[in-house]
Each structure stands twice: as C-alpha cells, then as structure tokens.
Amino acid sequence: MLDMYEDHIRRKKTASLSEFTTEYQDFRYHASSVTPDIKLAINVIKPLGPAPMLVKLHGWHMSMPEPQKRVTPADNMDHYLVVQVDMRGRAFSEGEADCNGYELMDIYDAIQFVRKEYAHYLSDPELIYLEGGSGGGGNVLAMLGKFPDTFAAASSFYPMSDYAKWYVQDEVGEFRDEMDVWIGCPPEVDSERYEARSGIHLVNNLHTPLYLAHGDGDIRVPVDHARAYVRQAQAYGKSQLIQYEELPGVGGRGHQDGITAEQLAGIQEASDANRRNHAVPVTIPQQGTLQIGGYLYTKPFQIVLDSMDHVAQVEYSLPNNTYQLRARNPYPYTLSTFDGRVITGICSVITNSQ
C-alpha cells in the first residue's frame, strides 16, 4: 500500500489519454475551478457497494499510478471508493505544478467531481478520507489547514511540514530546483509564500483526526518535520487529534529503508483504524480564528486572498455572521458564504501589538 508513496523520478509527460470506464476502475478528466482551461486526471477505483471516499495523493517527483482497465476487483474494494489524484503539471494532467498552491484546489475539485459523478457509489458524500506520503504527505498537512472540515480523518506518511526548512535541508538540490520554480523564489527572498504552503504554519486549523508516521533515519525528508508539526499542534491544544508513530531504524535515501514487515503492517493497520474510528464528518466551531494560506475553504464560508502566496487570519462568528481579516499587509480578499453572499474587502494590517 505504501510503496506508491516512495519518491522516485517523475515519469515523463504522457500524451493525452482517452477517458475510459470499466467495471472496477475508471480514468477520468475533470475541470479546474481556478484554471478553467486545463484538464486534470484522476483514477477512480470503484467499490463493490456504497462506501466512503478515500483520496490518495502521489509523491513530490511522481504522478498518480498508471491508469488500469481493471477486470477484477482491487484489494479492499468493499472498504472505499478510491480516488487517485494527478495534480496539475504531472504526467496525466495539464497545467503547471505550484507546490501546495492551486494544485491543492485540484484535489478539492476532484472531490466535487466524484461526489457528483459517482454519487451512487458513496455511502455518505460528506464522509471523505485523505492519505499521502512524502510529497503527498506534505500535501495532506497543507490540505488539513486549507480545507479544515473536508476530511473525517487523514493519514500522512513521512511528510515535509515546513518547506522553508526543507529547502535548506536539501543536501543535493533535488528538491530546491523545483521549489525555486514552483514557489517562485528561495525562502530568504520571500518567506511568506513558503508559510502559505506549509502545514506547520496552518496547524491551528487542524480539526481532522490525523495519523502521522515517520522513520527516524529519513534523509530526504528528515523526521524533524513530523516532530515539529506535533510540537506545534501541542502548542495550539491540538494534540488529541494526532496519533504520531516514529519508526526507529527506518529511513535513509528511501523513506522505508530498513522497515520491517511488522512495522509496515503496523502503520497500515493504524492508518486504517484511524479511518474506522472516525466515521463522522468534521465541523468547525461556531466561532474562532483560522489561518489563511492563500485561501481557506470551509463548509460555512470560503476566503480567497489576492494571491496564493499571501498569509492572513480570520476571526469569525457564524451566529453573528461576522468575519474580521488581518494580515501583514492590506491584502484584498473575497469571502463567499454558504447562503450565497459574496463580500470583497481589504485585510486589516496586523500591528506589532496584535
């Protein structure tokens, strides 16, 4: 199950494939809500009967698995409707990768597409789970911050939680070159755009039960990322939402180097149990404060800043229908509420005393 999250060299761009549907797996394209002129690809592995949705994310240098015309059921097909997302700029999707920018909207758009097109396969359209490892694990942490009430439970394996830190830690430059392009500059030039993409800076938004596993010998994504995320979650009073498992003796150039069969089975079971034990959709509190890394999507309201590279915070009250946005600079924003209101405004500037 976890081999698909090892980070190998990304496959070359594949010429546009034709959609297909088979009894057990479909290959489909869906539209982007933020970049309407591109096509985005997904694999949909269908269950034998109605089941929750499980969204799986690929690694940094990778794409979703090769589309298959399945003539026999996949393993655990009675458990989930599995959606394998190919984010923008990868092998099967158009567009340009942007490291937790609009590519995370591709995941959200895929979910909306599947909810509509595969409704008869879903036991509950609100019961959605998320899983990813390596680059996909970093995507998971950011998704939980940008979409805090979308997922009932999530699993993140050996993730990067802080892209500025990861930029510095990249000993051989195998990730920095892409961050320079996908994010737009090194972190010393503009740290805010790295914050907007990093799960550790959005951990205050965590409302989803999270299973997190990381090997203590990981070289390419050091275990410091998981440890720091857990510490930050504790500082925000979120520790009850995280089950963290550090794997002694595991990790090297490969995330799973040295892993035993027992350890592998253990993290797979713990990830499954996290989903089984959380079969109720998440809701955000009626009032509170949330961070915004470029954009924030909740069920009651959505906020989009003028740039995905900007960071802000919103103090909201659903009973009072009030929203106060603050940021380091007077960033424009658009706020949309569940009842159809659309509000535009400018963030108040945070002073040193705030």
255 with 295: CB under 8 angstroms?
Answer: no
Residue 282 lies in a domain: no
Q: What is the DSSP letter of 212?
A: E
Classify residue 176: in a domain, yes or no. Answer: yes
Which CATH number is 22's domain given? 3.40.50.1820
> What pLDDT, on the 0 to 100 scale, is given for residue 31?
96
Residue 281 lies in a domain: no
Whether residues 323 and 216 fall in one domain: no
Coil vs helix vs strand at 27: strand
Q: Same domain, yes or no, for 103 and 168? A: yes
Q: Last residue of some domain: 217, 241, 276?
A: 276
Query: Which domain covers residue 332, as residue numbers?
Result: 287-349
Are both 230 and 127 inside the same structural domain? Answer: yes
Same domain? For 39 and 187 the reply is yes
Neighbours of 306 (CB within 10 A): 14
Backbone angles phi, psi at 203, to 5 degrees: -65, -20
Q: For residue 344, what is the enclosing H or E element?
A: strand 342-346
**Sheet harboring 295-297: ordered strands across?**
342-346, 332-337, 301-305, 295-297, 287-293, 311-317, 322-327, 348-349
CB atoms closer than 10 angstroms to residue 10? 18
Q: Which residue, of 221, 245, 276, is where some domain finishes?
A: 276
In tens digits, the chain (354 residues) has pLDDT values of 566 666 665 667 776 789 999 999 999 999 999 999 999 999 999 999 999 999 999 999 889 999 999 888 877 666 899 999 999 999 999 999 999 999 999 999 999 999 999 999 999 999 999 999 999 999 999 999 999 999 999 999 999 999 999 999 998 889 999 999 999 999 999 999 999 999 999 999 999 999 999 999 999 999 999 999 999 999 999 999 999 999 999 999 999 999 999 999 999 999 999 999 999 999 999 999 999 999 999 999 999 999 999 999 999 999 999 999 999 999 999 999 999 999 999 999 987 645
C-beta separation of 223 from 214 below 8 A: yes
Q: What is the structure's pLDDT at 1?
A: 58
State the pTM of this model: 0.95
* pLDDT reported for residue 9: 57
Total domain count for the chain? 2
Backbone angles phi, psi at 334, to 5 degrees: -125, 125
Claim to verify: residue 223 and residue 110 sit in the same structural domain:
yes
Query: Do 86 and 194 fall within a single domain?
Result: yes
pLDDT at 51: 95
For residues 89 and 96, give the distance between their C-alpha atoms in angstroms, rounded to a whole number. Answer: 4
Both 269 and 293 in one domain: the answer is no
| Residue 223: per-residue pLDDT | 97
Residue at a domain's end among 276, 304, 323 = 276
85 three-class SS? strand
Q: Is 131 helix (H, G, I), strand (E, B) or coil?
A: strand
Contact assessment for residue 127 and residue 50, using Cβ atoms and an 8 Å cutoff: no
Same domain assignment for residues 310 and 268:
no
Shared domain check, 34 and 93: yes
